[in-house]
Amino acid sequence: MTYFRELPNILYPSNLVDKESSQQYIAVKNLFRRVKLSGEADGIASLFTKYTILEGQRPDTIAKAFYKNETYDWVVVLTSGITNIKDQWPLSNYDLHRYVENKYGLAGMNAIHHYETLKVIDSKNRLILSEGMKVDQNFKIPAPLDTNITYDIVGAYETTKHSGSGDLNPVKGISNYEYETILNESKRKINLLKPKYLMRYIDEMKQIMTYDRNSQYVNSGLIVASNNRLIGP
């Protein structure tokens, strides 16, 4: 990403075995520099628009579509709060399948990862139990005391009615593949900086990437680290 070209440098004392002298330095990028909108603007929802990452989309393809320039892929990543794109960007369906197979094995892909509650409502449309809570396989709730009341257990594909005595076991098993798919799908929801605020963000980036004068200052894009310690911003 072009973002890394904008990062300022640090001259860091060389630890190479074949260095020519103790005064030899190596220029490295200052990865401690982070860009964010100013405190006045940061956190204002109106600056962003909600976006769902489509199958196969990458930061550069989104930047091309949204900002008309694929080199703003770093804006897509940083304004979405992504710090580790390997773990935080959704996998394609093909890559997800390979990932799950490698993680759990072919035989373990459909094994139960955990159990969750199903939604239960009564015949008066009152919520008895919310769906999606992690529970034990043997989790139960008591049947209604009022014999005139029935319970509806709402599944993904059908609703089961329950009346009479006996505890209910409104749970469903979530397989390893389902679990990883849910996690992957949750990564598709991001916030994109609206195009009209793009140049403001870039201007703030350039200011943050410029060093202030201090004892390590060489120029606006370069400082010297001393005593084998990286110097913070």
Q: What is the pLDDT of residue 233?
A: 45
3-state SS, residue 119: strand
pLDDT, greater one: 119 or 8? 119
| Residue 28 confidence (pLDDT) above 50 | yes
Q: CB-based contacts of 136: which residues, under 8 Å, 6+ apart? A: 115
Question: Which two three-digit tokens encode residue 110?
Answer: 């459909």
What global pTM score does this model have? 0.72
pLDDT, greater one: 39 or 99? 99
pLDDT band at 180; cut points 50, 70, 90:
very high
Report, as an integer, the average pLDDT of 79-105: 94
Look at 15-19, 101-105, 147-151 and tell me which has the smallest mean pLDDT: 15-19
| Residue 135 confidence (pLDDT) above 70 | yes
Sheet bearing 159-162, strands edge to edge: 127-129, 119-122, 151-154, 159-162
| Residue 22 confidence (pLDDT) above 80 | no
| Residue 231 confidence (pLDDT) above 50 | no
Q: What is the pLDDT of residue 159?
A: 84
Q: What is the pLDDT of residue 160?
A: 85
Q: List 154's β-bridge partners, or say none.
A: 119, 159
Report, as an integer, the average pLDDT of 131-148: 89
Q: What is the pLDDT of residue 157?
A: 73
| Residue 221 confidence (pLDDT) above 80 | no
Tokens 């459909």 found at? 110
Look at 110-124, 141-155, 213-227 and tell me which has the smallest mean pLDDT: 213-227
3-state SS, residue 27: strand
pLDDT in tens, 81-92: 888 899 999 999
Give 225-232's long-range contacts (Cβ < 8 A, gap of 24+).
225/10, 225/11, 225/12, 225/13, 226/13, 228/13, 228/15, 230/10, 230/12, 230/30, 230/32, 231/10, 232/32
| Residue 222 confidence (pLDDT) above 50 | yes
Q: What is the pLDDT of residue 44?
A: 72
Q: What is the pLDDT of residue 219?
A: 61
| Residue 207 confidence (pLDDT) above 80 | no
Question: Which two three-digit tokens encode residue 117?
Answer: 């509650």
∠192-203-213 over CA atoms, to 5°? 135
